[in-house]
Amino acid sequence: METSQQTTQREEQQRAAEQRRKELLEAADRVVLRDGPGASMNAIAAEAGITKPILYRHFGDKGGLYRALAVRHTDALLSGLRAALDAPAERRERVEATLDTYLAAIEARPQVYRFLMHPADEGQPTEQGFDVGRHSAPLLRRLGEELAEVIAERVDLGPDGEGLARSWGHGIVGMMHAAGDWWLRERPCPRADLVRHLADLLWGRLAVSGDRADGPGF
């Protein structure tokens, strides 16, 4: 049977390990902010003042580190999205605030966004065995499920509400991701304009808009 002293020692070791892991993630964040998609395990280990094998001991490989960083940033983003959805405002205003929260997050830390979503961009080499699609897809799925949960909690969608909320949650995340990715690369308009355009789409503008006279319709 474990003694109280052994229990205390184990708890202290666990807290120390968690603190060390947090410090390593903060070092990784600094490298990602500097190097973006080109951030390497060697550079992160150097930033943290440790050897690469020690970094592997904490995260296993670059995929493990990626997942830890993804959770860290997704948690922060979800907190912001929930705050926007819960703000004391009209529904349209909350929708726009939610869209703006997402776009503001990727605009504020584009290198982090590119590391999480496009680590092989611009000719940057990927480390052996690291497949971005295998790691970024779960991140987007988690955002979709979390947003679906928020929608189901806040909107009366009737007897089929759970399935509809999941469809909407994943659809909205897909829209935000695709539109945000395009906007961050090309900057075709101010952020406020994109927020308004996407909110118009969610608000049913597509359904009530007529077809162009010079086009094939939609």
Region 83-108: mean pLDDT is 90
Q: Two tokens at 141?
A: 């799925």
For 62-122+130-204, the fitting CATH number among 1.10.3720.10, 1.10.260.40, 1.10.357.10, 3.40.50.620 is 1.10.357.10
Q: Please, which residues have CB within 8 angstroms of residue 113's CB and are 6 or more apart in sequence?
A: 105, 106, 184
Percent helix, strand and coil across the chain, each to the nearest 5: 80, 0, 20
- Between 129 and 96, the more confident residue is 96
Global pTM? Answer: 0.78
* Integer Cα distance of 57 and 84 in angstroms: 38
Mean pLDDT of 7-31: 83
Please write the tens of the pLDDT for every residue from 41-57.
899 999 999 988 888 88
Rg from Cα positions in the chain:
21
Band (96; pLDDT cuts 50, 70, 90): very high
pLDDT at 99: 95
pLDDT per residue as tens digits for the range 100-136 = 999 999 999 898 888 888 755 444 444 544 444 555 6
Quote the pLDDT of residue 120: 53
Cα–Cα distance for residue pair 115/36, rounded to 1 Å: 5
Average pLDDT over every residue of 192-198:
97
Q: Which residue has the tokens 């603190």?
A: 19
Among 174, 176, 179, 155, smallest CA distance to 165 is for: 155
- In this prediction, residue 173 has a pLDDT band, given cuts at 50, 70 and 90, of very high
Higher-confidence position of 11 and 201 = 201
Please give the average per-residue pLDDT across 208-213, as a whole number.
62
DSSP state at residue 115:
H
